[in-house]
């Protein structure tokens, strides 16, 4: 495994917010009693008059955010993913998306890597929920630099967005650029494509490196821009590599894997295998051990990669 520097996505988000606040004197930020964890406190300290910590009322945080945005402001609202996408779902749906309010929801603590807090707090369905909302942009950055870039990128258009961040520090794997609707290619290859998001992107690169040692070249795509999705990159991957492995920290029924499968099926169907959380809730545990326990291990991904290569007749 390659040793990589790790960084906090949440710190990158908080710092980017301060940057945005300096740039746009009308921008406001809301939080729901988790400002230390989400790092919106950095903005709150710098711009206290433009920071509203509403306490434990996530659904109403979204309605208040909408009211602020309809006056012409850009509004960021943060809490944990389970509260932003789960607890507040219908206010995000009506007050934010149906109203087309310029509210940017940046949710931390997505996925199993929440660890000790357990299954109630490990949000594994948020991509499905947020991606189904008309007009919603959905982004899942994989590291600190791309978190900063994504935080800035969603400020550049008017309309709602949902960004899912991971609690754990993650290895820096991207070059820190992010373009909406564009998949980032981190590794070239023609035998197989691995499409990954969030914490799984680092693992995807490790899998690709192991395959390389065995003489197999895997293309690796960073699919941070879930919606809009770079369908062209997926179809190119299908055409040029013939098989796709997806890796995500989300319920496999409704996440990245199903997106990739349906995007390719209509135009250039190839076998798609998923590494992700089975249709289950999580549980308490050491964050990284939880990933392995729920089938998101590097070994499991490697097994799936070999299975795909066998299906395509690339190995015997």
Partner 1 sequence: MTYHAGSGHPGGSLSVTDLVTALVFHELRIDPEHPDWPDRDRLVLSKGHAAPALYSALAHRGFFDPKILPSLRELGSPLQGHVDHRKLPAVEASTGCLGQGIGMAVGMALDARLAKRPSRVYAIIGDGECQAGLTWEALMAGGHYALDNMVVLLDRNGLETDGKTEDLMGIEPIADKFRAFRYDTLEIDGHDFSAIIGALSHARASKGHPTAIVARTVKGKGVSFMENKHAWHGKAPNREEAERALAELGGSL
Show which residues are catalytic: 58
Does residue 52 contact residue 27 with C-beta atoms inside 8 Å?
no
Token duo for residue 72: 């012409």
Q: Shortest approach of partner 1 to residue 108 CB, angstroms?
A: 21
Which of residues 46 and 100 has its CB atom nearest to partner 1 in the complex? 100
Tokens 């934010």 belong to 96
The residues that touch partner 1, with contacts defined as CB under 8 A, are 26, 28, 49-50, 52, 54, 57, 59-60, 62-73, 90-91, 93-95, 98-100
Which of residues 88 and 201 has its CB atom nearest to partner 1 in the complex? 88
Q: Residues with Cβ < 8 Å from 103, sequence gap 6 or more?
A: 62, 65, 66, 69, 75, 76, 77, 96, 160, 161
Token duo for residue 106: 């940046």
Which of residues 54 and 180 has its CB atom nearest to partner 1 in the complex? 54
Q: Shortest approach of partner 1 to residue 138 CB, angstroms?
A: 21
Which of residues 64 and 142 has its CB atom nearest to partner 1 in the complex? 64
Q: For residue 228, say if its preceding peptide bond is cis, omega within 30 degrees of 0.
A: yes
Does residue 107 contact residue 80 with C-beta atoms inside 8 Å?
yes
Picking from 130, 63, 76, 64, the residue whose alpha carbon sits closest to that of residue 102 is 76
Which of residues 58 and 222 has its CB atom nearest to partner 1 in the complex? 58
Q: Shortest approach of partner 1 to residue 89 CB, angstroms?
A: 11
Which of residues 129 and 229 has its CB atom nearest to partner 1 in the complex? 129
């Amino acid at each position: 495994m390659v040793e990589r520097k790790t960084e906090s996505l949440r710190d990158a988000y908080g710092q980017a917010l301060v940057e945005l606040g300096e740039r746009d004197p009308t921008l406001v930020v809301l939080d729901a009693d988790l400002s230390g964890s989400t790092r919106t406190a950095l903005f709150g300290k710098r711009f206290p008059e433009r920071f509203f910590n509403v306490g434990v009322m996530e659904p109403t945080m979204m309605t208040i955010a909408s009211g602020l945005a309809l006056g012409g402001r850009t509004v960021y609202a943060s809490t944990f993913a389970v509260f932003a996408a789960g607890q507040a779902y219908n206010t995000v749906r009506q007050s934010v998306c149906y109203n087309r309010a310029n509210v940017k929801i940046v949710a931390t603590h997505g996925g199993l890597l929440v660890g000790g807090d357990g299954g109630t707090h490990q949000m594994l369905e948020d991509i499905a929920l947020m991606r189904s909302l008309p007009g919603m942009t959905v982004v899942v950055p994989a590291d600190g630099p791309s978190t900063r870039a994504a935080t800035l990128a969603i400020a550049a258009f008017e309309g709602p967005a949902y960004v899912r961040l991971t609690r754990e520090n993650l290895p820096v794997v991207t070059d820190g650029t992010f373009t909406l609707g564009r998949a980032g290619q981190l590794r070239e290859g023609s035998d197989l494509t691995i499409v990954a998001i969030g914490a799984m992107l680092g693992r995807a690169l490790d899998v690709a490196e192991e395959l390389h040692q065995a003489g197999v070249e895997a293309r690796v795509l960073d699919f941070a821009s879930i919606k809009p999705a770079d369908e062209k990159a997926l179809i190119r991957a299908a055409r040029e590599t013939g098989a796709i492995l997806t890796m995500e920290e989300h319920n496999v029924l409704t996440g990245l894997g199903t997106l990739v499968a349906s995007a390719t099926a209509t135009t250039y169907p190839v076998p798609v295998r998923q590494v992700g959380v089975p249709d289950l809730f999580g549980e308490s545990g050491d964050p990284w051990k939880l990933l392995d326990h729920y089938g998101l291990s590097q070994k499991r991904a490697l097994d799936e990669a070999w299975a795909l290569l066998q299906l395509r007749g690339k190995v015997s």
